[in-house]
Amino acid sequence: MSTPVHALQGALTIHHAVELQAQLQQQLAAGTDTLDLSAVTDCDAAGVQLLLATDRSLRDNGRRLRLQATPAVVAEVLQRCGLQALAA
């Protein structure tokens, strides 16, 4: 199965949570399992939640979410939540 990489952009925050959810759902349908975060500028708890939910959906299908080019701002948030493993 092809697993194209999808690049997320801008702020993964509550303000864009609804659009991001739609975007991610499309990507899930397209078989994406890797998110490139290099263009992400901010991340809050809503963003973390979206990433976790995406991971959950993938895991339900026996796959897992992969993150690449995680910027420091996202890495810090994940580390605060004890979710470093997600970025690995």
Binding site for other proteins (CB under 8 A): 14, 17-18, 20-21, 24-25, 28, 44-46, 48-50, 52-54, 56-57, 60, 77, 80-83
CB nearer to other proteins: give 1 or 60. 60
What's the min distance (Å) between Cβ of 87 and other proteins? 13
What's the min distance (Å) between Cβ of 59 and other proteins? 9
**Amino acid occupying residue 82:** G
CB nearer to other proteins: give 61 or 68. 61
Terminal-residue alpha carbon distance, the chain = 22
What's the min distance (Å) between Cβ of 19 and other proteins? 9
